[in-house]
């Protein structure tokens, strides 16, 4: 991995962690409902990206089957992501999310012929073990429903990332995906108008999440993911829960339990082993 790719990837991971913190903050304090957070997040991301593409005066991405599939996966990710953070702490949600992302992307990588070599197999197993340790039943186990929603979000994000590997222009492609996802989400949001709960604080958080840490963050990720192999892109995202955990402690006053510490150590150790070597 080159230094430039590392920097792009790191910036994207920080943006992803910020999304978990912002969403949990908004839904924990009930300053906005999950559906409205999702719709405003997608719409504000679309507006910011349209402005960027217009300023750059680049060609708009064409709507095709690939863009429709990517937009659908973006809706799945964003909606399930918001629903999960009604019950999950920021760090736990991030770990479940990117554990699911990894499973999705590595499975596709195997189908494409990519393989882990030597100690990388043990690194991958350690990362998965950390994910399982967190979810192991017990008094400190997270909400099962919240985890199921987040697993669905991870599946959606995994496929969205895979679709991004074929992008010729990350910015215009992401813009197209956000516009289409906003339109896809709109009918679902309108049908649930009775559940709307939108305050000014909630709207501000959703806009920041959409325009900055989502819209711009995903452009950065699409740039990075084009330079990464499928498995490499999958495993490196497991660093996000650790960043989210630190943010949860310092910004949301969340506590860090031994279960989460142990799980995070396994995940980080697995990442170090897998990404420290090249794929065959």
pLDDT tens by residue, 119-131: 878 887 887 888 7
Q: How far apart are CA 227 and CA 259, in angstroms?
A: 34
CB neighbourhood size of 229 (10 A): 16
User: What pLDDT shows up at residue 240?
Assistant: 83
Q: Residue 134's Cα: distance from chain center in Å? A: 18
Whether the pLDDT of residue 171 is over 90: the answer is no
Whether the pLDDT of residue 235 is over 70: the answer is no
Residue 131 lies in a domain: yes
Residue range of the domain that includes 245: 3-275
User: What pLDDT shows up at residue 198?
Assistant: 95
254-260 mean pLDDT: 79
The pLDDT-based confidence of 256 (bands split at 50, 70, 90) is confident
Q: Which residue did the predictor score with more confidence, 116 or 81?
A: 81
Question: 120-124, 136-140, 160-164: which range is least confident on average?
Answer: 136-140
User: What pLDDT shows up at residue 144?
Assistant: 84
Question: 102-106, 196-200, 212-216: which range is least confident on average?
Answer: 102-106
Q: Which residue did the predictor score with more confidence, 150 or 228?
A: 150
Task: Give me the chain's average pLDDT, please.
Answer: 85
185-198 mean pLDDT: 94
User: What pLDDT shows up at residue 139?
Assistant: 60
**Percentage of the residues of the chain whose pLDDT score is greater than 90:** 38
| Residues 229 and 114 sit within 8 Å (Cβ to Cβ) | yes
| Residues 171 and 219 sit within 8 Å (Cβ to Cβ) | yes
What SS3 class is residue 32? strand
| Residues 177 and 74 sit within 8 Å (Cβ to Cβ) | yes
CB neighbourhood size of 63 (10 A): 12
User: What pLDDT shows up at residue 277?
Assistant: 56
With b meaning 16 or more CB within 10 Å and e meaning fewer, what string describes 78-102?
bbbbbbbbbbbbbbbbbbbbbbbbb
User: What pLDDT shows up at residue 279?
Assistant: 45
Residue 146 lies in a domain: yes
Q: Which residue did the predictor score with more confidence, 42 or 59?
A: 42
Q: How far apart are CA 127 and CA 221, in angstroms?
A: 21
| pTM, rounded to two decimals | 0.84
79-108 mean pLDDT: 86
Whether the pLDDT of residue 140 is over 70: the answer is no
6-20 mean pLDDT: 89
User: What pLDDT shows up at residue 231?
Assistant: 62
198 backbone dihedrals φ, ψ, rounded to 5°: -120, 115
CA nearest to 91, candidates 65, 130, 120: 130
Residue 280 lies in a domain: no
How many domains are there within the chain? 1
């Amino acid at each position: 991995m080159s230094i430039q790719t590392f920097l792009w990837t790191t910036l994207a991971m920080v943006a992803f962690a910020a999304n978990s913190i912002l969403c949990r903050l908004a839904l924990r304090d009930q300053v906005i409902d999950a559906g409205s957070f999702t719709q405003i997040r997608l719409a504000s991301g679309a507006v910011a990206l349209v402005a960027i593409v217009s300023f750059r005066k680049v060609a708009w991405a064409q709507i095709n089957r690939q863009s429709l599939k990517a937009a659908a996966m973006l809706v799945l990710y964003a909606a399930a992501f918001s629903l999960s953070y009604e019950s999950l702490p920021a760090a736990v949600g991030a770990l479940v999310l990117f554990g699911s992302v990894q499973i999705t992307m590595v499975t596709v990588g195997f189908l494409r012929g990519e393989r882990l070599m030597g100690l990388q197999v043990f690194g991958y197993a350690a990362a998965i073990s950390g994910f399982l340790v967190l979810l192991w039943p017990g008094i400190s186990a997270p909400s099962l429903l919240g985890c199921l929603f987040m697993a669905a979000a991870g599946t959606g994000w995994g496929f969205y990332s895979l679709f991004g590997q074929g992008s010729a222009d990350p910015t215009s492609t992401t813009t197209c995906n956000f516009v289409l996802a906003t339109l896809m989400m709109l009918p679902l949001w309108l049908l649930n108008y009775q559940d709307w709960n939108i305050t000014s604080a909630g709207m501000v958080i959703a806009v920041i999440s959409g325009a900055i840490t989502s819209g711009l963050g995903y452009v950065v990720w699409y740039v990075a993911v084009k330079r990464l192999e499928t498995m490499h892109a999958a495993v490196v995202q497991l660093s996000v829960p650790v960043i989210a955990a630190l943010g949860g402690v310092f910004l949301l006053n969340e506590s860090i339990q031994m279960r989460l510490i142990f799980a995070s150590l396994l995940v980080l150790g697995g990442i170090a082993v897998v990404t420290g070597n090249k794929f065959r």
